[in-house]
Amino acid sequence: MNPNRRLFLKTIAALGAAATLPSLARAAAAAVAPFPSGAKLATSPRVSVMVSGGTITKDGQFLPAVGAAHRLHYGQRKKILLFLHASLPVDWDGAEQKLRPIFAADGYDVESVHHWSGREAIRKIEEAEAFFVSGGETFLLLRTLHETGQFEPLRARVLAGTPYNGSSAGCNIAGLHIGGTNDFPVVDVPGRAALGFFPCVFNPHHPKVGEPEYAARVNKIRNLRRVNPDEIVMGMGNGAVARLHAGRVTVEAGPVFLYDGPAPRELPLGEVPELTKLVAAEPRR
């Protein structure tokens, strides 16, 4: 028999078998959630998390609105532990060298956790005054946090009140799961459940209204929500900043877009009551 015809007949047979599945089995298969059931909100009254959509610097300095948000967020904490896991290990030293003078210009002293490993790295996390998680490849970031055993210690410290700041990929993992990332899945991950501090999924580098890419991004996120209608997506533009502090979600710098209905809404500066309400409804740790 011709190999192509044999493949065709096998495909038809498989489709026919699927069509004969009992209705209950088909219903059970359809009920499987597209995103991981393990993704859930992780909150406490002490959580203080800031996220940005990426491109937070210009000419070797933080954008003015970003710098102001840092001063608000970090307060008197001047020593910041960096997580550069969204890039390859060969790039970590260079990324640290690039970030150090940018933070230093605003009075912050930074060091990267990659200089330690194992229990020593966990100890640095447990002793840190504050965190910054940089951008890059979100899937690589999440996988490396799990492989190094740093995921749970990082989450525990933030739940205990240590300020977290994440840009781009670092923003993505602050949500419920990495569902709105623009990244290719360059590596496999144990699961897409993220740190879960915000009650939403993030989409960094979101175009502004009127930019050529805006309509395509809106359509892509609409398709995500058609498959996952209960998902709330927060689109974070370049230079945009959102913050969760003392149980309140606020926009500190725009543009920020909220997808919780048939069309996105660009949010004004100030509180986002829809997300604050979800945080308040969650049992506190």
Domain ranges of the chain: 1-29, 43-281
pLDDT grade, residue 9 (50/70/90)?
A: very low
pLDDT grade, residue 40 (50/70/90)?
A: confident
Residue count (the chain): 285
Q: What angle do CA 170, 52, 252 make, to 5 degrees?
A: 145
pLDDT of residue 285: 61
Tokens describing residue 113: 């956790």
Q: Decide: 140 and 86 in contact? Cβ < 8 Å.
A: yes
In this predicted structure, which of 4-18, 61-75, 81-95, 152-166 has the lowest mean pLDDT?
4-18
- In degrees rounded to 5, what are phi and psi of residue 250? -130, 155
Region 193-203: mean pLDDT is: 97
The yes-or-no verdict on residue 22 having pLDDT over 60 is: no
More confident residue, 119 or 283: 119
- Active-site option among 134, 205, 206, 260: 205
pLDDT of residue 38: 60
The yes-or-no verdict on residue 1 having pLDDT over 90 is: no
In angstroms, the CA 85 to CA 163 distance is 18
In angstroms, the CA 159 to CA 2 distance is 62
pLDDT of residue 282: 75
Beta strands in the chain (DSSP E): 48-52, 57-58, 61-62, 79-83, 109-112, 130-133, 164-167, 201-203, 233-236, 241-245, 248-253, 256-259, 265-266, 270-271
How distant is the alpha carbon of residue 141 from its chain centre? 10
Average pLDDT, the chain: 89
In this predicted structure, which of 26-30, 80-84, 86-90 has the lowest mean pLDDT?
26-30
Architecture of domain 43-281: 3-Layer(aba) Sandwich (3.40)
In angstroms, the CA 238 to CA 241 distance is 9
End-to-end CA distance of the chain: give it in Å, rounded: 65
In angstroms, the CA 195 to CA 243 distance is 15
pLDDT grade, residue 35 (50/70/90)?
A: low
Q: Which of 104, 93, 117 is nearest to 67 (CA)?
A: 104
Q: Decide: 253 and 267 in contact? Cβ < 8 Å.
A: no
Question: Can 85 be counted among the known catalytic residues?
Answer: no
Region 226-244: mean pLDDT is: 96
- Active-site option among 114, 183, 206, 260: 183
Question: Can 183 be counted among the known catalytic residues?
Answer: yes
- DSSP β-ladder status, 130-133 and 256-259: unpaired
**β-pair partners for 240:** none
**SS3 for 257?**
strand
- Active-site option among 168, 177, 206, 260: 168
Question: Can 44 be counted among the known catalytic residues?
Answer: no
- Measuring CA to CA, how many Å separate 250 from each of 47, 70, 112, 241? 13, 14, 28, 9
